[in-house]
């Protein structure tokens, strides 16, 4: 018997409500992707992504789309880590994130970790399109394997465009079947938690934070545009989060 | 076209300044991640399949005649480390000087005018291959090989590693060099129809992180 994977798309649309706040005219979950509006502060709307089933499993194709209109402010988090697991359906699972932030909109995308469990095969892709004066904080954390477990196969692509021009394009492949050397001294060197933090602010056009190492296995670097990237490796998810939180609070 | 032009271009003695760069090996040696021939080979393998593949695809696309300005922007987006972007442009400028003297061409002149501070080295390498009458596979091979030969020869100096062991490591990587050069040339041909976004974007976090650490050292043997 073959089981088809789950296909589900969740959609969020945030708009400036004209009274100094942000409304959510679209907030639609589907299948394993449930969305909840939670209490926000000031002009910002907050949304929590709640996993209503385990997954993604092999063969699943999940998509989350968020659009932030001009002047709107949205913060998205998730209630728990996402765990990629092997499924009954053949083939890899896909998890796509499409984020659009219009001119003068602001998005904070701060979900919990993605854990690549042994035997899973997952391809994640985040595509972010920003308007000229859009602001972004985007965090992505991956944990390779649960405690004491070999990781699954994980491919992760992150593309950030601003004004249609590509600001950042990165792909990382790791786990069984990934191209050679992925766990070696040039790529991960045995680290099992990796993260990226992208911060885009129009004021970086005038003054960009300087490149600097953040300890031995992390660094902040200005991109070729008004943005910085923090890349961090750590032994575990907790140490990784501490690094990224410290880097973010240094920027504010 | 002369096949021997590839040997001239790929020769480690081609005066393009590459010997001053370690391809991240100096930072990895200092951090204790490269300690001998086996870890050097694993370092080179990781570099080959990540930044080596990206560089080879950029070079192959430039050799096919894809717009160097678009390729240079694609290289920027695929090189988040500022230290690595600076190194790539410096190497590009040095290569452009050597290439214009070796294979004079209007395209190389135009590239130097467009990027007075240097374009990304793989882009210049591809335009150079074109000026030398070489094709996209040649450019891809040349770039992919540089991505591993640089760290190997730097490690010989940094660790006093036996040069025979370093060369044997490179020879063992040869089948994977074939795979990477082929994948790079294939991706480059897709760029003609689909644009630069189909270029590979394989990243190596420790190369990026190590480059920023290395750039902050007060004294170092290699420029990157």
Q: Which helix (H) or strand (E) holds B172?
A: helix B163-172
CA dist B102 → B5, B55, B211 (Å): 10, 22, 31
Distance, in Å, from the CA atom of B65 to the CA atom of B182, rounded to the nearest integer, reads: 18
Measured between beta carbons, the chain B residues lying within 8 angstroms of A188 are 205-206
Determine, for residues B83 and A187 on separate chains, whether the beta-carbon distance falls below 8 Å.
no
Measured between beta carbons, the chain A residues lying within 8 angstroms of B176 are 180
Distance, in Å, from the CA atom of A166 to the CA atom of B79, rounded to the nearest integer, reads: 12
Residue A51's pLDDT band (cuts 50, 70, 90): confident
Return phi, psi of residue B92, to 5°. Answer: -65, -40
Mean pLDDT of B56-66: 98
Mean pLDDT of A159-184: 96
Per-residue model confidence (pLDDT) at position B12? 86
Mean pLDDT of A80-89: 87
Residue of chain B whose alpha carbon sits nearest to that of A215: B213
Per-residue model confidence (pLDDT) at position A53? 64
Determine, for residues B212 and A211 on separate chains, whether the beta-carbon distance falls below 8 Å.
yes
**What radius of gyration do chain A's Cα atoms show?**
18
Per-residue model confidence (pLDDT) at position A252? 78
Alpha helices in A55-150 (DSSP H): none
Measured between beta carbons, the chain B residues lying within 8 angstroms of A171 are 200-203
b/e map B144-163, b = 16+ CB within 10 Å:
bbbbbbbbbbbbbbbbebee
Tell me the per-residue pLDDT of B126-138, one tens digit each, with 9 for 90 and over.
Answer: 999 999 999 999 9
* pLDDT value at A55 more than 90: no
Residue of chain B whose alpha carbon sits nearest to that of A229: B80
Mean pLDDT of A16-38: 94
- Complex ipTM, two decimals? 0.95
Q: Given B46, B176, B215, which is nearest A185 (Cβ)?
A: B46
Mean pLDDT of A234-246: 97
Per-residue model confidence (pLDDT) at position A15? 97
Per-residue model confidence (pLDDT) at position A94? 95
* pLDDT value at B90 more than 80: yes
Q: Given A169, A179, A231, which is nearest B78 (Cβ)?
A: A169
Residue B142's pLDDT band (cuts 50, 70, 90): very high
Determine, for residues A233 and B216 on separate chains, whether the beta-carbon distance falls below 8 Å.
no
Q: Where are the beta strands (DSSP E) in chain B?
A: none
B50: contact with A, CB 8 A cutoff: yes
Residue of chain A whose alpha carbon sits nearest to that of B47: A186
Per-residue model confidence (pLDDT) at position B1? 66
* pLDDT value at A138 more than 50: yes
Mean pLDDT of B69-80: 98
Q: How far apart are the first and last CA of chain A?
A: 54
Distance, in Å, from the CA atom of A119 to the CA atom of B32, rounded to the nearest integer, reads: 31
Neighbours of B95 (CB within 10 A): 26
B19: contact with A, CB 8 A cutoff: no
Determine, for residues A182 and B44 on separate chains, whether the beta-carbon distance falls below 8 Å.
no
Mean pLDDT of A71-76: 97
Per-residue model confidence (pLDDT) at position B2? 82
Q: Which helix (H) or strand (E) holds B123?
A: helix B121-131
Measured between beta carbons, the chain A residues lying within 8 angstroms of B78 are 169-170
- The three-class DSSP label of residue A113 is coil
* pLDDT value at A1 more than 50: no
Q: Which residues contact A149 (CB under 8 A, 6 or more apart)?
A: A117, A118
pTM check: above 0.90: yes
DSSP for chain A?
---PPPEEEEEEEEEE-SSSSEEEEEEE-BTTEEEEEE---TT-EEEEEEESSS-PBTT-EEEEEEEE-TT-EEEEEESS-EEEB--SSSS-EEEEEEEEE-TT-EEEEE---EEE-TT-EEEEEEEEEE-TT-EEEEEEEEEESSTT----EEEEEEEEEETTEEEEEEEEEESTTSPTTTTSTTTTTT--EEEEEEEE-GGGGT-PPPPEE-SSSEEEEE-SSSEEEEEEEESSHHHHHHHHHHHHHHH-
Residues of chain A that touch chain B, judged by Cβ-Cβ distance less than 8 Å: 157, 159, 165-173, 179-182, 184-189, 194, 211-213, 216-224, 229, 231-233
Mean pLDDT of A202-227: 96
For residue B104, give both structure tokens: 């004079």
Average pLDDT, chain A: 94
Q: How far apart are the first and last CA of chain B?
A: 34
Determine, for residues B44 and A181 on separate chains, whether the beta-carbon distance falls below 8 Å.
yes
Tell me the per-residue pLDDT of B159-213, one tens digit each, with 9 for 90 and over.
Answer: 999 999 999 999 999 999 999 999 999 999 999 999 999 999 999 999 999 999 9
SS3 content of chain A, % helix, strand, coil (to 5): 10, 50, 40
* pLDDT value at A52 more than 70: no
């Amino acid at each position: 018997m073959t089981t088809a994977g789950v296909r589900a798309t969740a959609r969020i649309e945030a708009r400036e409500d004209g009274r100094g706040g942000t409304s959510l005219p679209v907030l639609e979950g589907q299948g394993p992707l449930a969305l909840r509006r939670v209490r926000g502060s000031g002009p910002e709307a907050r949304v929590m992504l709640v996993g209503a089933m385990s997954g993604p499993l092999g063969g699943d194709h999940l998509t989350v789309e968020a659009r932030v209109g001009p002047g709107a402010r949205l913060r998205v988090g998730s209630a728990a880590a996402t765990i990629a697991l092997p499924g009954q359906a053949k083939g890899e699972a896909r998890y796509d994130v499409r984020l659009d932030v219009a001119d003068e909109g602001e998005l904070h995308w701060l979900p919990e970790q993605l854990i690549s469990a042994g035997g899973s095969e997952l391809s994640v892709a985040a595509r972010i399109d920003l308007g000229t004066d859009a602001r972004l904080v985007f965090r992505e954390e991956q944990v390779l394997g649960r405690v004491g477990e070999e990781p699954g196969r994980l491919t992760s692509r992150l593309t950030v465009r601003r004004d249609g021009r590509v600001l950042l394009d990165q792909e990382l492949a790791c786990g069984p079947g990934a191209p050679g050397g992925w766990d070696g001294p040039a790529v991960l060197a045995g680290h099992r938690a990796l993260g990226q933090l992208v911060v885009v602010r129009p004021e970086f056009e005038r003054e960009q934070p300087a490149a600097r190492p953040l300890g031995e296995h992390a660094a902040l670097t200005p991109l070729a545009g008004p943005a910085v990237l923090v890349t961090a490796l750590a032994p575990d998810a907790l140490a990784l989060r501490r690094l990224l939180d410290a880097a973010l609070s240094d920027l504010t | 076209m002369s096949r021997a032009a590839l040997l001239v271009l790929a020769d480690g003695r081609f005066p393009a300044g590459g010997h001053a760069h370690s391809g991240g090996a100096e930072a990895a040696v200092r951090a204790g991640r490269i300690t001998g021939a086996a870890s050097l080979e694993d370092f080179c393998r990781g570099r080959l399949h990540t930044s080596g593949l990206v560089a080879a695809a950029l070079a192959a696309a430039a050799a096919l005649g894809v717009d160097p300005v678009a390729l240079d922007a694609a290289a920027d987006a695929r090189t988040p480390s500022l230290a690595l972007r600076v190194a790539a442009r410096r190497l590009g400028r040095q290569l452009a000087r050597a290439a214009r003297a070796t294979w004079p061409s209007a395209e190389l002149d135009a590239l130097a005018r467009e990027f007075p501070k240097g374009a990304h080295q793989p882009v210049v390498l591809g335009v150079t291959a074109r000026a030398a009458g070489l094709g996209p596979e040649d450019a891809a091979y040349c770039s992919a090989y540089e991505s591993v030969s640089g760290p190997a020869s730097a490690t010989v100096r940094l660790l006093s590693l036996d040069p025979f062991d370093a060369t044997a490591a490179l020879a063992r990587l040869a089948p994977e060099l074939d795979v990477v050069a082929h994948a790079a040339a294939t991706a480059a041909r897709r760029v003609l129809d689909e644009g630069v976004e189909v270029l590979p974007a394989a990243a190596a976090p420790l190369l990026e992180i190590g480059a920023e650490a290395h750039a902050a050292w007060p004294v170092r043997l290699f420029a990157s």
